[in-house]
Structure 1
Amino acid sequence: MSTATAAPAAAAEAPAKSKKKLIIIVVALLVVAGAAYMFVLKPKSAPAEKPAPKPGIVTPLEAIQVNLEGGHYLRIGLALQQTDKAAEALDGSKALDAAIELFSGKSIEELTDLKEREKLKKELVKELEHLYEDEVMGVYFTQFVMQ
């Protein structure tokens, strides 16, 4: 009779093991599916926008001459609109170098076109924001004379 009693116990133990195995597999699949949703399928939230910088002091720079196309030149004066994060007046050497790089070799026709000049000014502001690590938020032309 002991063999007859052992057979039903072994038969009952086999379904219990398979149920445990099934539960473990289902839980593992749910964890993997949750991780996939979090990292792949979940819509990305928009990055928080930086607050607009507040204006600080304006630092005028000495005017420089830039060689243009065809033997002409441009005398350009700049003033940097700093953000309130800038502790003191900035050294303008990076700004002057960026202006020389941007305006050198341009034609008088390009620079007399108002739209083109505004486009160049926006490029200069973008470059200065990068060079001065968000301590500059704008630039003003204090002189702009071509010959």
Structure 2
Amino acid sequence: MAKDEKDKAAEEAPKKGSKKKLIMILVIVLVALGGGGAGGYLMFAPKSAEAEEVLVAGIVVPLDAVTINLADGHYLKLKMTLQATDKAHQAPDGSKALDAAISLFSNMDSKELLTNDGREKYKTQLKEKVIKAYTVEKEKEIMDVYYTTFVIQ
């Protein structure tokens, strides 16, 4: 009887060992595939158009201040400067940028603009509109917009 128990234990030991080896091999293979998959994705991931385009700063164009009526009876005095790219053949006329600012901020509530987050949110929107307005044949003439005066009364 003792011999039969030893034989059973001897038969079960290799089975347990082989299962452990199989699990370890599977884990190693999965880790290797996971790492290779992530590396392969990063290597062959499509590059964005913005990453390829490098804008070189050109001239800086300060614009006249403009006063904009806000919705709650307040006024916004805004003066901004445009950062042109080297692709701008001449100093950009500020009329498109001022028009974009007036259309964005007109009838807006002053509470939205009094916080830093609100001001930055709408500056980003203004920058997008200005860049779009000054893009000619897929060449950007403006790369940034700077507030030089931003006063709410």
Quote the residue 1:86 is aligned against. Answer: 88
Quote the residue 2:110 is aligned against. Answer: 108
Quote the residue 2:147 is aligned against. Answer: 141
SS in 2 for 1:89: coil
- What amino acid does structure 2 have at the position aligned with 1:113? T
Distance 1:145 1:87, change over 3 A: same
CA RMSD of aligned residues (A): 1.6
TM-score by length of 1: 0.66
- Stretches of structure 2 lacking an aligned partner (at least 5 in a row): 1-44
The one of 95, 98, 104 aligned to 1:96: 98
TM-score by length of 2: 0.64
Name segments (4+ residues, structure 1) moved above 4 Å: none
How many residues align? The count is 104
Deviation digits for residues 31-55 of structure 1 (CA, Å, limit 9, x no counterpart): xxxxxxxxxxxxxx83663322111
- What amino acid does structure 2 have at the position aligned with 1:46? P
C-alpha separation between the residues in 2 aligned to 1:78 and 1:48?
30
SS in 2 for 1:94: helix
SS in 1 for 2:72: helix
- What amino acid does structure 2 have at the position aligned with 1:56? G
C-alpha separation between the residues in 2 aligned to 1:107 and 1:128?
22
SS in 1 for 2:79: strand
- What amino acid does structure 2 have at the position aligned with 1:135? E
The one of 34, 59, 77 aligned to 2:61: 59
Deviation digits for residues 89-121 of structure 1 (CA, Å, limit 9, x no counterpart): 110000000000111111121111111110101
The one of 65, 69, 72 aligned to 1:70: 72
